[in-house]
Amino acid sequence: MINFEEELKKFHPSLEVEDAEEAIYNQDLTDMADLMVKIVKDAKKVEEE
């Protein structure tokens, strides 16, 4: 049986057009490739030390 109150909590306000800019800026764009590059760089540093 669906619990109305619980289900309602799953609905969140939709972003308005005015908020689009802020949403774009706040988006976390770090990907696996970035992580890999960072790991490689860190490993190189350790090797150099």
Binding footprint of other proteins on the chain (CB under 8 A) = 1-2, 4, 7-8, 10-20, 23-24, 27, 29-34, 36-37, 40
Determine the straight-line distance between the first and last CA of the chain, rounded to whole angstroms.
Answer: 61
Nearer to other proteins, 10 or 45 (CB): 10
- Shortest Å, Cβ 9 to other proteins: 9
HSE-up of 45 (CA within 13 Å, CB side)?
A: 6
- Shortest Å, Cβ 11 to other proteins: 6
